[in-house]
Structure 1
Amino acid sequence: MSLTARALLLDMDGTLVNSDAVVERYWRIWAAEQGLDPEQVLKVVHGRQGHATMAALLPDRPVERNLADNRWMLERETTDLDGVVPVPGAAAFMAALAALPHALVTSADEALARARMGAAGLPMPEVRVTAERVGASKPDPEGFLKGAAELGFAPADCVVFEDSEAGIAAGRAAGMRVVGIGPRAGAHAPDAHVRDLEQVRIEALPDGTMRLHFSG
């Protein structure tokens, strides 16, 4: 199977970087403090900004408390990089994209994105849409639409790479095709689905577009 695109919009956690160990460590602590079942909480944390997840889990909780807990979590996750590794194939994938239009669109803030991409040994894309730059978290399409606009391409010309339900929904809402990465993505009917980035090959075409080849 293959797709053609003029630009790629890349999620980070679960797509380029495997940070599950850190994410789960701190969400388990938070869930226990709130009297919530950690296993149920972990089913919904991926893809969203932390405060948005907290609001979904505890809808009557004051926004200020969610924002404060979100700051606490970001501070710890930014300095705790134990277990943060690249998704298989991520280094070669990013190298193949180096001269092609692409952007990072992540629910992490700039500091956390830099820390995790650095820990995984991956280059930071020049165009980045991080948590500080959007008013609404995924599954809202704002981040992907902003990334496409900064790259100068229409949404229909962009392909999103995502691992989570919220991220896949955001890509779809933006009017983009979505490649699902990893086990979480398969249940949400992306346009293409691969185990990891080792199953993706990028071919630059003479007209400036790229063809994405998927194996496996």
Structure 2
Amino acid sequence: MPRQPQQSTELRARGLLLDMDGTLVNSDAVVERCWRRWADKHNLDQEHVLSVVHGRQGHTTMAALLPHRPMAENYAENALLLAEETADTEGVVPIDGAPAFLAALQGRPHALVTSASTDLVAARMGAAGLPLPPHRVTAESVSASKPDPEGFLKGAAALGLTPQECVVFEDAEVGIAAARSAGMRVVGVGARAVAQPATVHVPSLDHVEVAFTEDGGFVLTVRS
């Protein structure tokens, strides 16, 4: 069969808000190792646990999977799990195209908006060899985890922009839902995003070309 031509979409924005895990960094190997152990500890199906975990803060995953357990126990156990995840960087690599994509954004308005903690961000971005964006909204910055829009709204505010002026890059169901709830357009990155209602989807960041307008705005050419 002849190869289908790629479709191209142009998005214009004043600022970009970027998720980390699954969007800039492939940390699936670590996530699976840690959460499979956690699933076994609690006699839960590993695959079901992994279907829930992506994009959320750990304590919210635990609350969803162990609904009758006091939240204080979830916070306590999540602190231990975060320490495990932060110490384990084996197999953490950049998403295809992430180094060039972030290099193109240097000096331009962009922010990281992630459910990861500050220490986990430093560990994974460092392991992947990626620069830290100047503005970061981490787990410590918000009162509610994705799919709540708080993180993305704070990211826009940090850039001095309205939600409508921003484009979000996300891979997870809860992250895409959070961005849409914030009133933002979303580029869904990778296989997890395909079934989600993003504005446009890309297999990886090497399908995104970044250019700029004369007044400093972004022109994104997205090849799906």
TM-score, with structure 1 as normaliser: 0.99
Q: Write the distance in 2 (CA, Å) between the matches of 1:155 and 1:109.
A: 23
Q: Residue deviations 1:148-168, cap 9 Å, x none?
A: 001100000000000000000
User: Is 2:149 the partner of 1:135?
Assistant: no
The residue number in structure 2 matching 1:103 is: 111
Compute the displacement of 1:58 (Å).
Answer: 1.3
The residue number in structure 1 matching 2:76 is: 68
User: Is 2:175 the partner of 1:167?
Assistant: yes
Superposed, which structure 2 residues align to 1:153-192 within 5 Å?
Answer: 153-192=161-200
Q: State the AA in 1 paired with 2:220.
A: L
- Identity level (%): 63
Q: Write the distance in 2 (CA, Å) between the matches of 1:154 and 1:190.
A: 19
Q: State the AA in 1 paired with 2:25.
A: V
The worse-fitting range, judged by mean Cα deviation, of 15-24 and 54-63 is 54-63
Q: Write the distance in 2 (CA, Å) between the matches of 1:57 and 1:211.
A: 41
Q: State the AA in 1 paired with 2:205.
A: L
Compute the displacement of 1:35 (Å).
Answer: 1.0
Q: State the AA in 2 paired with 1:63.
A: M
Q: What are structure 2's unaligned runs of at least 5 residues?
A: 1-8
Compute the displacement of 1:10 (Å).
Answer: 0.2
Q: Write the distance in 2 (CA, Å) between the matches of 1:186 and 1:78.
A: 28
User: Is 2:91 the partner of 1:119?
Assistant: no
Q: Write the distance in 2 (CA, Å) between the matches of 1:63 and 1:140.
A: 18
Q: Write the distance in 1 (CA, Å) between the matches of 2:197 and 2:144.
A: 23
SS of the counterpart of 1:3? strand
SS of the counterpart of 1:2? strand
SS of the counterpart of 2:191? coil
Superposed, which structure 2 residues align to 1:191-206 within 5 Å?
Answer: 191-206=199-214
Q: State the AA in 2 paired with 1:150.
A: A
Q: State the AA in 1 paired with 2:86.
A: T
SS of the counterpart of 1:175? coil
Q: What are structure 1's unaligned runs of at least 5 residues?
A: none
User: Is 2:19 the partner of 1:19?
Assistant: no
Q: 1:210 aligns with which of 218, 221, 224?
A: 218
Compute the displacement of 1:215 (Å).
Answer: 1.6
SS of the counterpart of 1:184? helix
Q: Residue deviations 1:18-64, cap 9 Å, x none?
A: 00000010100111111110001101100000000111111111111
Q: Write the distance in 2 (CA, Å) between the matches of 1:115 and 1:31.
A: 24
Superposed, which structure 2 residues align to 1:18-97 within 5 Å?
Answer: 18-97=26-105
Q: Which runs of 4 or more aligned residues in structure 1 lie more than 4 Å from their structure 2 counterparts after TM superposition?
A: none
SS of the counterpart of 1:44? helix
The Cα RMSD (Å) is 0.7
Q: State the AA in 2 paired with 1:54.
A: M
Q: Write the distance in 2 (CA, Å) between the matches of 1:19 and 1:214.
A: 24
Compute the displacement of 1:118 (Å).
Answer: 0.4
